[in-house]
Structure formats: C-alpha cells, structure tokens
Structure 1
Amino acid sequence: MTVRVTKTKGHEATVTWAPEDDPRGYLAIAVEGDQLESALAALGTTEGLAQDGESLAVMVRHTTELARLLERRAAVLVVQLRDEHQMSWPQIAGRVLGDPDKHSSVRRMYDSGRRHLGR
C-alpha cells in the first residue's frame, strides 16, 4: 500500500495514493465527496464554535459516513488477521484494541467483517 500523508510545512499535509491502492474507490469518494475534509475539520473544531446549522449538519453527516466506512473496513481487516494470519483472539484484541482481554469485542468485529464480505 502506497497511501502517504506527507507533512509539507507548518500545518499543511498532502495525501497521495496510487490507483491500485483504491480498487473500490473508497479513498476517491472520501476525498471528492468531502467526507475526509469534514471529518478532519470535525477533529479540529472547537465545540461551541459558531457555524451555521446547515454547514454543521453536513459536517456531521460526512463525518458519520466516513466513520461507518472505517468501522466496516476495520472489521474486514480483523477477518484478515484471523483467517489469513492465524492470529488468536487475544493477540488481535491486544494489537487492535490495546487490551488482550477484549477478545469478545474483536470477535464481534470479526463476525461483522464476515457479513460485509458475504461469508
């Protein structure tokens, strides 16, 4: 994977990727559909900052759409860790959630990932 985020100067960065890194177009949609911009803006926005309600609603919608997609992608990647790399539930939980005792949480992610994959 050659997706890169490069800090260019000060508080600026550039995101680059090759077409083969985005076979389903998720990256392109997130950028072109403003989901990535909205999610990053939401990370940097101070609560209570005056913004008109419609713009704020759009930011929330885009951020939510991207969050859902990232949750689905994370679940699919958990399937890959388990099925292709034969990692145990505690290993996955430790690496993904930072707590090996949360193996029931990664099992739920795994089940969700399998559903998304149609298995």
Structure 2
Amino acid sequence: MSVTVTKTSGFTAEITWTTDDDLQGYLAHAIEGDQLASALESLGQPVLHGTPEQVLIKAQHTAALARLLERRAASQVVQLRDIHGLSWRKIAATLLDDPTKQSSVRRMYESGRRHSGN
C-alpha cells in the first residue's frame, strides 16, 4: 500500500494515496466526509468544543470511523490466521499487547469472517 502521511512542517501533514490504495472508497469518504478530521481532533483534544450539535456530529464521525476500523482490523485477523498461518497467541500479542487474550482475537476473527461472508 502506498498511502503516505508526510509531516510537512510544524503542525502540518500531507496524505497521499492512489486509486489502488482505496478500491472501496473508504479513505476518500473518511477524508471528504470529515470523519478522519473528527477522529484526529478527538485524539488531540478529547474535550471537543462547539455547540452540542457540532460536538454530536464530530462524535458521530469519530464513531463511524472507529466502527469501520474495527471491521478492517477483524478482516486483517482473518488474513493473519487463514493466509499467513499465525497463531492466536502471536496475533493477540501483537494486536492486543497480551498473548493471553487469544479469545478476544478469536472473536475478532469470527467478526471478520461474518463481514466477509464466509
């Protein structure tokens, strides 16, 4: 994948990608729909400012992106297990920083299988 994030100066960054990097348009939608901006703002400033409606929209964008990322992570667990043959322990250690959380990784795996239609 050739998505790149380049810090261009003090508090500025540039994101670049190609059509091949975003076959389903999720990346473009996250950027154009302000989901990515809202999520990044939430990372940098947990207490959001604005009217209740503005904060609600920012929270909605952040939650939508978080759900999408959870589905993508679950899909990656399926790939790690089915294609690359990694153990539950190795996946749990890497993704959850705890090799004993194998049951959590298995739940992610099952979720990934359901979303893929398998």
- TM-score of the superposed pair, with normalisation by structure 1: 0.96
CA RMSD in angstroms comes to 1.0
Paired AA for residue 67 in structure 1: A
* Percent identity between the two aligned chains: 58
Structure 2 distance, partners of 1:115, 1:103, is: 18
Does the C-alpha gap of structure 1 residues 115 and 8 become closer, same or farther in structure 2, counting only changes over 3 Å?
same
- 1:34 matched to 2:19? The reply is no
Structure 2 distance, partners of 1:70, 1:30, is: 11
Shift of 1:44: 1.6
Question: How many residues matched?
Answer: 118
For structure 2, the residue ranges without an aligned partner over 5 or more in a row are: none
Task: Specify the alignment match of 1:7 in structure 2.
Answer: 7
Task: Specify the alignment match of 2:25 in structure 1.
Answer: 25
Please give the secondary structure, in 2, of the residue aligned with 1:8.
Answer: strand
Shift of 1:46: 4.7
Show structure 1 runs of 4+ deviating over 2 A: none
For structure 1, the residue ranges without an aligned partner over 5 or more in a row are: none
Would the aligned equivalents of 2:39 and 2:62 in 1 still touch at CA under 8 Å?
Answer: yes
Task: Specify the alignment match of 1:74 in structure 2.
Answer: 73
Equivalent residues in 2 for 1:24-103 (5 A)? 24-47=24-47, 50-103=49-102
Please give the secondary structure, in 1, of the residue aligned with 2:36.
Answer: helix
- TM-score of the superposed pair, with normalisation by structure 2: 0.96
